[in-house]
Amino acid sequence: MKTWVTGGAGFLGSHVAAALVGAGHHVTVVDDFSTGLAENLTALAVRVERRSLQDPAVEELLGIEKPEVIFHLAGDALVARSVADPRTDCERNLLATLALLEAVRRASPESRILFASTGAVYGDCAERPFSETDGVWPISPYAVSKLAAERYCFAFAHTYGLRTCSLRLFSVYGPRQSKQVVYDLIRKIHANPKELALFGDGTQERDFSHANNIVDAFLLAARKAEFQGEVFNVAGDEIVSIRGLAEMLCEMMMASPRLLFTGQRRPGDSQRWVADTARLRGLGYRPRMNLRDGLRDTVAWYLRSLR
């Protein structure tokens, strides 16, 4: 199968590209390398197109290659950066997605598009897990740009007949990630095993999912989704507080730091992001890596990367 992975040199995109290569598919990575790393692709038999999705040449390439599935993971995934620079966030997430949809519509309308969205579109704290039928009230520029891109995917499916599907990812972590809470905690514990500062009061809850689970969800959706603009939540189905997460990592890294809570809440962050994955489970999804095994895997990768 011919596939494209946009943002394929990034943390999550490179995991998807590796899985596709391992399954015997032909993979073209389209990445402008603004955040992606060439080293993430070193061992992969992929063709690399170093360009922005807003480059007119992308449409020409689509017309030549006509990929069966486009795994669209290009974009910016940092809430804090979107708060500091919402215009750039909009360009990288929304405008780049719109440019891709337009290029597909004109040059390769049979291609299926799987868009990496985010659970952040739901907004702030909820008493029960978020389901796809719940209202969406994004509280960060990042979540707004992702939701708008989702809506464009839906609109292009229903207006132009494009085949699109969006996956709302919750709290992804794993090897090759160099930001976000799991990585930051591992780095801090390694740097100072005697004291660990945490945002908020430690009661914030998350539904973390290892990159392997996310890859499985993408490959499953590529095979079984209807591609009519629908959305699916993707998570690890294990709820943990930030304090609980920190304690697990400390145990794995054989550290006993004093935990300090700042009481501060970072702009754009929700108190509780927990997913209802029943819709995706209906396609056959089951997380293959639990939280403890996933954290051990990530810690081991981090320590290897220091050598």
- Residue 79's pLDDT is what? 87
- Residue 200's pLDDT is what? 86
- Residue 141's pLDDT is what? 96
- Residue 179's pLDDT is what? 87
Tokens of 2: 């011919």
- Residue 271's pLDDT is what? 80
Report CA Rg, the chain.
19
List residues with catalytic annotation.
142
Q: Is residue 268 over pLDDT 80?
A: no
Q: Is residue 251 over pLDDT 80?
A: yes
Q: At what angle do helices 96-107 and 57-65 cross, to 10 degrees?
A: 40
Tell me how far apart the alpha carbons of residues 265 and 245 are, in angstroms, rounded to a whole number.
17
What mean pLDDT is reported for the chain? 95
- Residue 78's pLDDT is what? 86
Domains of the chain, start order: 2-172+209-234 (3.40.50.720), 175-206+238-272+289-300 (3.90.25.10)
pLDDT average, residue stretch 23-35: 97
- Residue 77's pLDDT is what? 87
Contact status, residue 16 vs residue 69, Cβ threshold 8 Å: no
- Residue 265's pLDDT is what? 73
| CB-CB neighbours of 35 under 10 Å | 19
Q: Is residue 270 over pLDDT 80?
A: no
Contact status, residue 137 vs residue 173, Cβ threshold 8 Å: no
Q: What is the pLDDT of residues 157-208, one digit of tens each?
A: 999 999 999 999 999 999 999 888 999 999 999 999 999 999 888 999 999 9
Q: Is the pTM of this model over 0.85?
A: yes
Q: Is residue 264 over pLDDT 80?
A: no
Tell me how far apart the alpha carbons of residues 151 and 121 are, in angstroms, rounded to a whole number.
11
Q: Is residue 80 over pLDDT 90?
A: no
Q: Is residue 298 over pLDDT 80?
A: yes
> What is the band of 68 on the pLDDT scale with cuts at 50, 70, 90?
very high
Q: Is residue 64 over pLDDT 90?
A: yes
> What is the band of 131 on the pLDDT scale with cuts at 50, 70, 90?
very high
Q: Is residue 263 over pLDDT 80?
A: no
> What is the band of 302 on the pLDDT scale with cuts at 50, 70, 90?
very high
Contact status, residue 257 vs residue 206, Cβ threshold 8 Å: no
pLDDT average, residue stretch 88-106: 98
**299 to each of 19, 169, 173, 200, 218, how far by Cα in Å?**
21, 21, 11, 23, 24
> What is the band of 267 on the pLDDT scale with cuts at 50, 70, 90?
confident
